[in-house]
Chain A
């Protein structure tokens, strides 16, 4: 069966993409940012996932204000980089995994998450910047196929943190019911604190960000109770996109191993946050507990068929 082996949280600041594309990574300002991802690239090169599910948001590239889907799953065979006004980013076209994507769509919709299915979509910096940060800058092809999950965080209200977290759980269930042996890494992107609109632009709240990362690792359920108002007040109007990290977290075990973390301020107008969480490799004893846990979960599911945290 397929399984989710790890989660990656990463900011997706457009200026990081521009710095990469214009060859500015060695400049002191940018070196500070990119140096934080050196270990992550090594980790990814060793992890070699078969598929990456990337939770991100579109920034007025694929979606205008004509249609604003809350959760849009990319089921296409490929996703070209979008022209965001300066020509498409010079990155390879992203290959999809239409079979797994269709399987996920079917599974989570029947689990009562009303996804929008997208069979044709261009992807912007929200997806390609984290790909670069973790996979480097391949010339011809990305090392693995990608399933994009675009979340509306542009128009208020985005889905709640709790909704995102339980969607993550449903995605995990879907992945684990896919027959092929695939090792899947899931990305949550965006954030951390930033406000880029209005007179309060430039807001950064490092204390809040650090607490968010701590809880993401150790006590994610606490994060699912944060109301939108608090995100906007504390982490900036655009900081609300951090709810997307909770989809990634929901798809992982309750207890995870934090293998890496990085935080720096600023990249352009934004606090850069990054974390790698691995599902613990199960030893014999742990596996027994896990089996018992699954049996317990199955019994609970019989009583209440809905997914809840």
Chain B
């Protein structure tokens, strides 16, 4: 299945949750939504693979959930407000998830936020077409880390 190319695919390190991903990721998001109930959280923790049988998921999606590959979940149609419920079920703070998605330690991520967050400079565009671009690495999904506070 091919995705219709979109202008916003040019934003580095970003998976925009659009109508197509919403359709594709329905199973992931409804699974995550189910974790708002304590009984479901317990059932999931008792046997993760068995619990996931209740939802329509592709093998890839199931694998991403079991491996807690949060970026992959987003890429396969998960939405962050939903996948955050899986993180919470694991007992993680949101900042932990954010750190995991950015490939940094929670401590480094927290430091970056305190220092004013990730700068937009160099993080606007993969192709370099957008104004004021500092040149993102082309194929990599990795975004540049922090900038100094102004």
Instruction: Please list the residues of chain A having a beta carbon within 8 angstroms of any beta carbon in chain B.
Output: 14-15, 59-61, 64-66, 68, 83-86, 154-157, 193, 195-208, 228-229, 232-234, 237-238, 265-266, 268-269, 271
Contacts and interface: CB of A to CB of B under 8 A. Distances in A.
A60 B94 contact: no
Given A64-B30, A229-B7, A155 B79 contact: yes
Interface string B2-45: 00000110011111111100100110011011011000000000
Contacts of B79: 60, 65, 154-155, 197
Nearest to B78: A197
Contacts of A196: 80, 94, 98
Contacts of B116: 204, 206, 265-266
A60 B16 CA distance: 16
A202 B95 CA distance: 9
B54 interface: no
B95 A269 contact: yes
Contact of B8 (A15, A86, A229): A229
Nearest to B149: A265
Contacts of A234: 120, 124
Interface string B121-150: 001110000100000000001110010011
A85 B35 contact: yes
Contacts of B8: 156, 228-229, 232-233
Given A198-B74, A204-B117, A157 B18 contact: yes
6 contacts: A197-B74, A198-B141, A199-B101, A200-B12, A229-B7, A238-B80
B30 A65 contact: yes
A155 B22 contact: yes
In the A-B complex, the 10 residue pairs with the closest CB atoms: A204-B117, A200-B13, A199-B13, A197-B80, A200-B143, A202-B118, A156-B18, A60-B81, A201-B98, A59-B81
Nearest to A64: B33
B21 to A, nearest CB: 8
Nearest to B124: A233
Nearest to A61: B36
Contacts of A265: 113, 116-117, 149
Contacts of B74: 197-198
A50 B8 CA distance: 42
Nearest to B132: A234
Nearest to A195: B14
B117 A203 contact: yes
Contacts of B82: 60, 65
Contact of B17 (A155, A199, A268, A269): A155
Given A65-B25, A199-B142, A202-B146, 20 more contacts: A60-B29, A60-B85, A61-B36, A65-B79, A66-B30, A84-B36, A85-B85, A155-B19, A197-B101, A198-B71, A200-B118, A201-B101, A201-B102, A203-B117, A204-B113, A229-B7, A232-B8, A234-B120, A266-B113, A269-B117
A197 B14 contact: yes
Contacts of A207: 150
Nearest to A267: B113
B79 to A, nearest CB: 6
A233 B11 contact: yes
Contacts of B98: 196, 201-202, 269
Given A155-B18, A234-B120, A15 B13 contact: no
B88 A85 contact: yes
A198 B123 contact: no
